[in-house]
Structure 1
Amino acid sequence: MSDVRLAPENGSKKGLWLKRFLVLSVGVAIIGVTGAGLVGMNAAAPRPEEKEDVVEALPVLTTTAKAEEVKLKVRSQGEVMARSEVNLASEVSGRISYVSPAFLTGGSFSRGDVLVRIDPKEYELRVVQARANVAQARTTLKREQSEADIAKLNAQELGIDQVSDLALREPQVAEAEARLASTIAALSEAELALERTKIRAPFTGRVKAKSVDVGAYITPGGMLGSIYSSDVVEVPLALTDADLAALDLGIGFEANASKPGPEVVLSAVVAGRSYDWKGRITRTDSRFDPDTRVLFAYAEVKDPYGAGASDGTPLANGLYVSAEIDGRPIENAVTIPRTALRGKDKVYVVSDVDTLEIRQVGVASSDRTEAVITEGLQAGETVVTSPVKSPATGMKVQPVDEADARRGQGAVVASAANTQLQE
């Protein structure tokens, strides 16, 4: 009975293993077919096209450097000042009896005009008394001289050779002479005091301030007012070392007939209108200012209220003006727009193959519109005037002439340059 049970168990195990093998084979076959299909699909799919990187040229505005004979200009600013300004004070005491109609703030006067007069009666009496003393002293001197002459004659008649000075009245004559000299000095002093009752203008000018009026009592040293000259005004202009080189001026310069100072045009806005006045640099300081490191030059304008006025408008004291000074001429200079100058001494030059070159140049002068180049740049070369983002030597650029861009040509390129800069 035991053999009949063993046979069915062995058959069952063999069937189970057969089923498992068939299932595994079918799975492997499915995976293989799927993989082969995917490989075939990938092989049949179109390949993407490979593109080469293309560097686009940067659009820039350009202009051409020009060769010109230029005269350098230096610009500065300053405040108009009178050459002479004084405070009037009385040298004698007394009550003011007269004030000139011109002696009021803003009034004009000429040299020698009487501006203020102090009551002269007391000083006139002193002059009369001093003259009387002089006359008396002269009479005394004459009497003593006559008596001295008589004494000499008497001594000669008596044949006396040895006569004392006192007998000849020589001390008395010397005393009379000294008294006369003293009275003459007193008369001069009285006349001077009388003259000082008239306060005259020491120069042609204008009244800055008035401090007294008729009836006021003034003492020696008392202030009467303040006046300034109007024949010449000057403007101190701050100049750097580079400005001095452009003007060909040195420290301690003084203009003369053989070397007059540079011409200056002063300008200012008065009552809403622009005016210009012409003058010259007449001198410079003998030292640099230790705080600002500048040296002051002084521009003078003659007769600023007359012939030197601009269309009837004087160059008045206290006016703040701009100055344009003529400098030395430069032959064969190269000029470019100020926008083409980068920093202090660099320009961007476009080569013949439209690549950028960063070049260092020598700058003689520059202002808001133009820069004058003396070395490092040739006339006819193309320079960039528009902003360039991240400039580098050798970068590709697409030049557009600035004049064409202004006329509307190349506007698309110029717009693209601005867009690239903003990005």
Structure 2
Amino acid sequence: MQSLGAQNTLAQGNESAAKSRRKPRKLWILRALIFVLPVVVLVAAIGGTVAMSAFAPEPEETEDPIKALPVLTTRAQTGSVTLTVKAQGEVQPRTEINIVTEVSGRITYMSPSFIEGGRFSRGDLLIQIDPAEYKLRVIQARANVSQADTVLAREKSEAELARMDWADLGTGGTPTPLTLREPQMAEAAARLEAAKAQLAEAELQLSRTNIRAPFHGRVTTRLVDAGEFVGANNRLGDIYATDIMDVRLPLSQSDLRQAGLYLGYEAGGDTTVPVTLSANVAGQYTEWEGIIARTDSRYDSQSRVLHAYAEVRQPFGVDASQKAPLAPGLYVEADIAGPTLDNVVTIPRAALRGDDQVYVANDDGTLTIKTVEVLSSERTQVVIGSGLRAGDATITSPIRGVADGMKIEVVEPTAAGAGE
């Protein structure tokens, strides 16, 4: 019995050992399948793709025709053109002064026109300073003149008597100046002249109590009121003349060339350069005609431009009742008329690309980029000096990605586009 039990135990041990050896083998096989199977699937997929590509039919190659870009063109024209230079500036009166007292005193009268915005004429009384004290000085000076005149007359009489006495004595010889009272007469004459000078000074001071307008103009500011005491050299207000207005216009080198102006230019004779000033005044477009009167004697050190002065006469004249006057402080645009050029090429402003390029449509349906010399560029028209011929079809429609020689197709504008 013991022998049989031992055998059973030995058999169970051998079976358990066999099972233990089979478990690691199954784990290795499972792990190998996990790593190898994806690789096999990936290789199979790649192989299938390569095989399909190798046996697939080749696609047919087709060439898309290059489409011509539709454009609008305008023919370049030739003719006579008057160059115009545009500039901007502020209107300033040519004459503007401060009203300053020359005598002291209390203001007894002030003209109703002497107020901000007031208008006056040459010779109008603007302000009067109390003249009572200065009238007394004039009366006293006149009395001194009369007294000195009397003394001189007496000296002349005594000098005549002295000459007669010398003649009656009959002593002969030449009388001395003192005998003839010549020094006394000269002294009396000098005192008379001094008295007359004092009278003239007193009358001058009296006249200065009345401050009159030196020209036709308007009042900018008033700094005093009636009844106020003012001293000599006190500023009473500011006025300006309305006969001439100036506009200072900055001009570049190209502007000077187009307008025919230069450093130190002065209007006169046949060299007059017309200018038209314009501005929107109270919602109404208004123009004033003038001339370029002169240019500065030096260039501006910061902007490197030369300033020209436009002159407008009588800006507050008879036309002021029909249109707004050209008043100081108004900002205006100036159109300066330059020389007239004959047989020059002109194109629409839309045909100019950048500063100096024009796109031209050729007869063979291609585009050519030309570099031109621009003499003048305005809002609607460009004047070409060189680089373009009359009759060239310039392209006016916008183009992107332009290249020299690209295919284009000239189209006619529609009725709506032509109307615009």
Scaled by the length of structure 1, the TM-score of the pair is: 0.83
How far is the alpha carbon of 1:310 from its aligned partner? Answer: 7.5
Alignment correspondent of 1:12: none
Q: Unpaired segments of 5 or more residues in structure 2?
A: 1-50
Alignment correspondent of 1:352: 363
Matched, 1:81 2:89: no
Q: May I ask how many residue pairs the two structures share in their alignment?
A: 369
Matched, 1:235 2:247: yes
Q: Unpaired segments of 5 or more residues in structure 1?
A: 1-37, 410-423
Residue-by-residue CA offset, 1:117-167 (whole Å, 9 max, x unaligned) = 111111111111111111111111111111111111211221231422212
How far is the alpha carbon of 1:56 from its aligned partner? Answer: 2.2
How far is the alpha carbon of 1:400 from its aligned partner? Answer: 2.5
Alignment correspondent of 2:189: 177
Q: 2:296 aligns with which of 270, 278, 285?
A: 285
Q: 1:114 aligns with which of 119, 125, 131?
A: 125
Q: 1:101 aligns with which of 104, 107, 112?
A: 112
Q: Helix, strand or coil: the match of 1:358? A: strand
Matched, 1:136 2:147: yes
Alignment correspondent of 1:247: 259
**Cα distance between partner residues in 1 of 2:390 and 2:321:** 40
How far is the alpha carbon of 1:404 from its aligned partner? Answer: 6.3
**Which residue identity lines up with residue 98 of structure 2 in the other structure?**
N
Residue-by-residue CA offset, 1:179-237 (whole Å, 9 max, x unaligned) = 01100100100010010000011111000011112111111001111100111111111
Structure 2 matches for 1:326-365, cutoff 5 A? 326-365=337-376
**Which residue identity lines up with residue 259 of structure 2 in the other structure?**
L
Structure 2 matches for 1:249-398, cutoff 5 A? 249-260=261-272, 262-309=273-320, 311-398=322-409
Q: 2:214 aligns with which of 192, 202, 206?
A: 202
Q: 2:180 aligns with which of 158, 168, 171?
A: 168
Is residue 221–residue 237 contact of structure 2 (8 Å, CA) maintained in 1?
A: yes
**Which residue identity lines up with residue 153 of structure 1 in the other structure?**
M
**Cα distance between partner residues in 2 of 1:401 and 1:282:** 49
**Cα distance between partner residues in 2 of 1:294 and 1:326:** 19
Root mean square deviation of aligned Cα = 2.2
**Which residue identity lines up with residue 240 of structure 1 in the other structure?**
S
Alignment correspondent of 1:216: 228
Q: Which moved more, 1:392-401 or 1:110-119?
A: 392-401
Residue-by-residue CA offset, 1:370-397 (whole Å, 9 max, x unaligned) = 1111211111101112232232221211
**Cα distance between partner residues in 2 of 1:356 and 1:251:** 44
Is residue 277–residue 310 contact of structure 1 (8 Å, CA) maintained in 2?
A: no
Residue-by-residue CA offset, 1:60-112 (whole Å, 9 max, x unaligned) = 22221111211111111111111111110100011111111111110101111
Tell me: CA distance 1:157–1:386, structure 2 relative to 1, closer, same or farther (3 Å).
same
How far is the alpha carbon of 1:308 from its aligned partner? Answer: 4.5
How far is the alpha carbon of 1:291 from its aligned partner? Answer: 0.6
Give the ranges of 4+ consecutive aligned residues of structure 1 lying more than 6 Å apart after TM superposition: none
Alignment correspondent of 1:10: none
Scaled by the length of structure 2, the TM-score of the pair is: 0.83
**Cα distance between partner residues in 2 of 1:219 and 1:361:** 69
Q: Helix, strand or coil: the match of 1:228? A: strand
**Cα distance between partner residues in 1 of 2:380 and 2:419:** 22
Q: Helix, strand or coil: the match of 1:140? A: helix
**Cα distance between partner residues in 1 of 2:319 and 2:80:** 31
Alignment correspondent of 1:153: 164
Is residue 115–residue 199 contact of structure 1 (8 Å, CA) maintained in 2?
A: yes
Is residue 286–residue 323 contact of structure 2 (8 Å, CA) maintained in 1?
A: no
